[in-house]
Chains A and B, each alone.
Chain A
């Protein structure tokens, strides 16, 4: 069973637009929520991460919004660029320090 549910499965956004990917979780013991970015032919790489004691974290054009009460978090990519086209994974860390992964979102930014 998937403990971290990610949506949408795929997303097409115009250049300059805002890309939004959502994740939801059930396990309240999760205490670290990273987002990974994967380009074709490469392994995933950490993009940005948040802890549940803050509601938002911003790094450049990338922002994580975190809603602890709703057990949801999302990735926002502002001014989306063709170079942002990739697969994005949300994840959460459990008590064993293992990452539980969402299913991934394939993002395509149209020029």
Chain B
């Protein structure tokens, strides 16, 4: 979805390096999410934010941190990357009109940690 963009699209890095993945959206949504996707495991929630001042840990937050710089921007950081963080990372957004909220996904970032 062109309304949700992620940079970079691909990244190869080495163990111990600090990495930042960025997400921007033009949908005007308050809620933003970071997921990782691994084969056979589906999508697992890393962090989510319901507005600029509200950030929450998801199922697998260890080793990750986030920053919500503005309503439209939500960044994911790996302070010291390790090989088992090799995965496909997705940012998603949704509006806040109740619980039945469609999530709109970016195109993903493929991260490889050597």
B and A form one assembly: yes
Interface residues of A (CB under 8 A from B): 2, 6, 9, 31-32, 34, 41-46, 49, 51, 89, 93, 97-99, 101-104
Q: Which of B1, B48, B102 contacts A34 (CB 8 A)?
A: B102
Q: By the criterion CB–CB under 8 Å, are A46 and B100 in contact?
A: no
Q: By the criterion CB–CB under 8 Å, are A51 and B100 in contact?
A: yes
Q: Which of chain B's residues have a CB closer than 8 A to the CB of A93?
A: 99-100
Q: Which of chain A's residues have a CB closer than 8 A to the CB of B102?
A: 34, 46, 49
Known: A2-B42, A44-B90; 11 extra A-B contacts, CB below 8 A, are: A34-B102, A42-B105, A43-B92, A43-B105, A43-B108, A44-B43, A49-B102, A51-B100, A89-B43, A97-B99, A98-B58
A34 to chain B, nearest CB (A): 7
Is B12 part of the binding interface, using a Cβ–Cβ cutoff of 8 Å? no
Q: A43-B4, A51-B100 are in contact. Are A103 and B40 (CB under 8 A)?
A: yes
CB-CB contacts of B36-54 with A at 8 A, as 1s and 0s? 0000111111001000000
Q: By the criterion CB–CB under 8 Å, are B90 and A43 in contact?
A: yes
In whole angstroms, how far apart are the Cα atoms of A99 and B58 in the complex? 11
Q: A43-B1, A45-B1, A98-B48 are in contact. Are A6 and B42 (CB under 8 A)?
A: yes
Q: By the criterion CB–CB under 8 Å, are A43 and B44 in contact?
A: no
Chain B, interface size category, equals 20 to 34
Chain B's closest residue to A96 (CB) is: B56
Q: Which of B1-56 contact A (CB under 8 A)?
A: 1, 4, 40-45, 48
Q: Which of chain B's residues have a CB closer than 8 A to the CB of A9?
A: 40
Q: By the criterion CB–CB under 8 Å, are A43 and B106 in contact?
A: yes
Q: By the criterion CB–CB under 8 Å, are B42 and A103 in contact?
A: yes
A58 to chain B, nearest CB (A): 18
Q: By the criterion CB–CB under 8 Å, are B99 and A46 in contact?
A: no
A101 to chain B, nearest CB (A): 4
Q: Which of chain A's residues have a CB closer than 8 A to the CB of B41?
A: 103
Q: A9-B40, A32-B100, A104-B42 are in contact. Are A43 and B107 (CB under 8 A)?
A: yes
In whole angstroms, how far apart are the Cα atoms of A25 and B48 in the complex? 23
* 6 contacting pairs across A/B (C-beta < 8 A): A32-B100, A43-B105, A43-B107, A44-B43, A44-B105, A46-B102
